[in-house]
Structure 1
Amino acid sequence: MLNLDSDKSIYIQIAEIIENDILSGNLMEEEQAPSTNEFAKVYNINPSTARKGLNILVDEGILYKKRGIGMFVTPNGRKKILKKRQDKFFKERLPEIIKEAERLEIDREKIIGYIKRIEEGQND
């Protein structure tokens, strides 16, 4: 869902929506992605803004263009998204989580124990 009040650019949000659809299995490899006009109509945005978001994914090798037909998910699109987001998680988010845990004096064992409880469905 687009958040027009977000600090994040609309075209970036469009790219992330498609990435999330690919990761969740709503959009499969070789399947056609929504068109710029579909995005423009659904979200009431300029088609060129939607195109900019789609073109980011083309540049990253996640989507490819079939002239006159539309854009489609590449055979390795899902793997590319996973790698990109994993890299971002380990380089950007995890260090911040670790810094915050240190500020809060939460030791590694407590974090690991909490992760295990969450995985077991016991997040108290």
Structure 2
Amino acid sequence: MSGFDDTKPIYLQIKERIEEQIVSDQLKEEEQIPSTTQFVNFYKINHLTVSKGIHLLVEDGTIYKKRGVGMFVAKGAKARLLFRRKESFVAQYIEPLLKEADHLGMTVEELVQLIIARKERDHT
């Protein structure tokens, strides 16, 4: 298998790869995604594994099926994915950051200044 992480089920990684292609505009709304067979042949993985990952995207409305034609990116998919990612970012990074900052007695202003300084340093 090419390029898969052993710490997470492959079907979830297939789902995440398609989501990433949507977020990065490699796949646009109303555009057809590769077929299950194309995924199977490209990644050399089981058909059921690919189907399971794609099914998750159909269930959450990210992609939809056109019978006899294929799978397509749904309208609004990118916006929904970005919204979910931002919520996840807040839960995973911002909330623990704020909790630790409170524990250290840091003010919001101090945090903002640290973030600005780090961002400027890393992007110069």
- Normalised by the shorter chain, which TM-score bucket? 0.7 to 0.9
Matches within 5 A, 1:1-124: 2-5=3-6, 7-99=7-99, 105=104, 107=106, 108-117=108-117, 119-120=119-120, 122-123=121-122
Identity of aligned residues (%): 39
What is the TM-score of this pair, normalised by structure 1?
0.81
63 and 97 in structure 1: CA distance in 2 versus 1, 3 angstrom threshold: same
Residues 32 and 73 in structure 1, CA contact (< 8 A), matched pair in contact too: yes
Residues 22 and 78 in structure 1, CA contact (< 8 A), matched pair in contact too: yes
Select between 93-102 and 14-23 the one with higher mean Cα deviation.
93-102
Q: Secondary structure at the match of 1:30?
A: coil
Structure number with larger C-alpha Rg: 2
Q: Deviations over 1:21-64 (max 9, x none)?
A: 11111000000111111111111110110111111111111100
Cα shift at 1:110: 4.5
Residues 29 and 74 in structure 1, CA contact (< 8 A), matched pair in contact too: yes
102 and 54 in structure 1: CA distance in 2 versus 1, 3 angstrom threshold: same
Aligned residue pairs: how many? 121
Q: How much is the aligned-residue C-alpha RMSD, in angstroms? A: 2.4
Aligned partner of 1:91: which letter?
A
What is the TM-score of this pair, normalised by structure 2?
0.81
101 and 58 in structure 1: CA distance in 2 versus 1, 3 angstrom threshold: same
Determine the C-alpha separation between the residues in 2 that align with 1:13 and 1:106.
39
Q: Secondary structure at the match of 2:71?
A: strand
Determine the C-alpha separation between the residues in 2 that align with 1:75 and 1:65.
13
Q: Secondary structure at the match of 1:64?
A: strand
Gaps of 5+ in 1: none
Gaps of 5+ in 2: none
Cα shift at 1:83: 1.5
